[in-house]
């Protein structure tokens, strides 16, 4: 689950098939056309990709797409949903020859946060433990015929970001960074610190970079120097969501922040900046706050997220660097009922965000329970105004495991689960 500030439309993933640009995320229309969480751009206009997420119209703030990737001539979609295009598909689906279908023949419970192709196989990661009858621990691979686990030690390595680079696979998440060489997992978390999760991975100038996110950012962009991570910038305020890309000889970073730490000697960036290997500079000539993803399509850099302004222009959710334009990008309706979102990140260590929406003012209790049903904390117990609300839950001092959070008002009760991994 991704954090959707004020329930704005968000583009969380962008992928190109060479001819058209596909956008997935959290929206109900694109360019004035109904497109539930997925749409494509042919250079002149947006169109839906089938009927999109079937649940989007009913539960528009619980279902979304996190990742898009092409593999073996099919479009694969990962996220949090139960069906797409009228086909039952939990968390991951594929579209082949204009037909949607499930990508997991067996039972799958959970959500997919990131996908990539590595050594001619599709790898996925996210908040799931089992897939097609076997323990997956948050990561699995698909060869076009069947799914299989990645590693055999029974450990969980679910993450938020994936990158195939130099014939190795990198996975980043609340546990740090892990490297898979096709046979063995290697931990690469030295120097990352604590209280963070990895939001993006990228390769630039023969080096590996990560962005990290946390309630208080502890070194938001870092580079791997053979044995440990070294910070190259820390935001002064806010967090990075997830946007790193190598383009035209520079590393571009997008997110939600106001400026970089002046102690490192960089200029204010307003959410979008580029790195030349030794210094930072503002990108796009103006503000694009709230970037969630960056990708290259037909030689141009595209940014997706929850922004409404790019380089001084009124733009919604998607823009390209050479000429900022949203081509009437994604929009979303305001919710009309109570909503309790999935926490993000999940799994988490040690803190996570819980978001909910109230259609009218109400007295709210938000309670945390352990696996035995014992209440361990009440994070909210107060009357709150109508609208969007966000609470940070810190599990420091608690044991690893599954916990539950429940929201209660006079007219609404809902419970969701979350996983704390130390």
C-beta of residue 306 within 8 angstroms of C-beta of residue 3: no
The predicted pLDDT at position 83 comes to 83
Alpha-carbon span 236 to 268, nearest angstrom: 10
Task: For residue 150, give both structure tokens.
Answer: 């990645």
Residue 3 structure tokens: 């954090």
Whether 61 contacts 339, CB under 8 Å: yes
Distance CA 405, CA 146 (A): 35
Tokens 């922040």, located at residue: 257
Report yes or no: 164 and 180 within 8 Å, Cβ to Cβ. no
How many CB atoms are located within 10 Å of the residue 412 CB? Answer: 16
Fold held by 339-420: Immunoglobulin-like (2.60.40)
pLDDT by position in tens, the chain (length 422): 343 344 467 888 999 998 899 999 888 888 778 888 899 988 888 888 987 775 544 344 457 899 999 999 999 999 988 888 877 888 889 998 888 888 776 657 778 999 999 999 999 999 888 887 788 888 999 998 889 989 877 676 788 899 999 999 999 988 789 999 999 999 998 988 766 778 899 999 999 999 876 544 445 788 999 899 888 875 554 455 568 999 888 888 887 655 554 334 445 456 777 888 887 777 654 556 678 889 988 888 888 887 776 666 666 688 876 544 444 555 545 556 788 888 877 788 888 888 888 888 999 999 999 988 899 999 999 999 888 788 889 998 899 889 999 999 999 999 999 888 87
Which residue in 6, 41, 34, 96 sits closest to 302, CA to CA? 41
Identical fold, 5-331 and 339-420: no
Q: Residue ranges of the domains in the chain?
A: 5-331, 339-420
| CB burial readout 136-145, b (16+ within 10 A) else e | bbbbbbbeee
The pLDDT value given to residue 106 = 60
Strands (E), 132-271: 134-135, 139-142, 147-149, 161-165, 168-173, 176-180, 185-187, 197-204, 207-213, 221-224, 229-233, 238-239, 244-247, 250-254, 256-257
Which superfamily is assigned to 5-331 in CATH? Answer: YVTN repeat-like/Quinoprotein amine dehydrogenase (2.130.10.10)
Residue 263 three-state SS: helix
Measured CA distances, 238 to 148, 196, 258 (Å) = 38, 13, 7
Instruction: Spell out the residues 6+ positions from residue 174 whose beta carbon is closer than 8 angstroms to its own.
Output: 159, 160, 196, 197, 198, 345, 347, 348, 349, 421
Report the largest interatomic distance among the alpha carbons of the chain, rounded to a whole angstrom: 57
Measured CA to CA, the distance from residue 13 to residue 72 in angstroms comes to: 19
> Residue 26, Cα to own-chain centre: how many angstroms?
11
pTM of the predicted model, to two decimals?
0.76
- pLDDT of the residue at 129: 81
Rg (CA), the chain: 20
CA distances from 50 to 70, 212, 237 (A): 16, 35, 40
Residue 50 tokens read as 């089938």
- Burial class of residue 82, CB neighbours in 10 A (0-12, 13-18, 19+): middle
> What is the reported pLDDT for 202?
94
């Amino acid at each position: 689950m991704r954090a959707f500030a004020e329930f704005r439309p968000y583009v969380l993933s962008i992928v190109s098939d060479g001819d058209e640009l596909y956008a997935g995320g959290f929206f109900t229309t694109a360019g004035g056309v109904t497109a539930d969480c997925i749409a494509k751009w042919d250079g002149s206009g947006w169109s839906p990709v089938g009927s999109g997420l079937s649940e989007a119209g009913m539960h528009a703030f619980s279902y979304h797409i996190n990742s898009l990737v092409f593999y073996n001539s099919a479009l694969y979609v990962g996220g949090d949903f139960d069906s797409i295009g009228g086909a039952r598909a939990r968390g991951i689906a594929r579209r082949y020859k204009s037909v949607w279908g499930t990508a997991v023949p067996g039972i799958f419970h959970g959500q997919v946060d990131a996908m990539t192709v590595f050594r001619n196989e599709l790898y996925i990661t996210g908040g799931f433990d089992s897939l097609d009858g076997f323990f997956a621990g948050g990561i699995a691979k698909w060869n076009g015929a069947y799914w299989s686990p990645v590693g055999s030690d029974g450990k969980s390595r679910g993450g938020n970001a994936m990158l195939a680079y130099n014939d190795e696979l990198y996975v980043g998440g609340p546990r740090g960074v892990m490297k898979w060489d096709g046979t063995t997992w290697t931990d690469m978390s030295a120097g990352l610190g604590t209280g963070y999760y990895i939001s993006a991975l990228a390769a630039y100038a023969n080096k590996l970079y990560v962005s990290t996110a946390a309630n208080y950012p502890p070194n938001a962009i870092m580079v791997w120097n053979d044995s440990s991570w070294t910070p190259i910038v820390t935001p002064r305020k806010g967090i990075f969501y997830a946007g790193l890309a190598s383009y035209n000889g520079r590393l571009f970073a997008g997110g939600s922040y106001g400026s970089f730490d002046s102690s490192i000697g960089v200029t204010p960036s307003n959410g979008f900046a580029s790195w030349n290997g030794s210094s930072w500079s503002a990108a796009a000539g103006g503000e694009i706050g709230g970037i969630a993803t960056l990708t290259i399509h037909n030689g141009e850099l595209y940014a997706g997220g929850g922004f409404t302004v790019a380089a001084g222009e009124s733009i919604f959710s998607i823009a390209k660097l050479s000429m900022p334009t949203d081509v009437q990008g994604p929009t979303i309706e305001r919710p009309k009922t109570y909503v309790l979102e999935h926490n993000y990140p999940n799994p988490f260590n040690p803190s996570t965000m819980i978001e909910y929406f109230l259609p009218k003012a109400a007295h709210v209790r938000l309670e945390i329970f352990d696996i035995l049903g014992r209440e361990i904390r009440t994070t909210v117990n107060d009357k709150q105004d109508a609208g969007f609300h966000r609470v940070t839950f810190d599990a420091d001092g608690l044991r690893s495991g599954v916990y539950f959070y429940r929201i209660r008002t006079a007219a609404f009760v809902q419970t969701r689960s979350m996983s704390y991994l130390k």
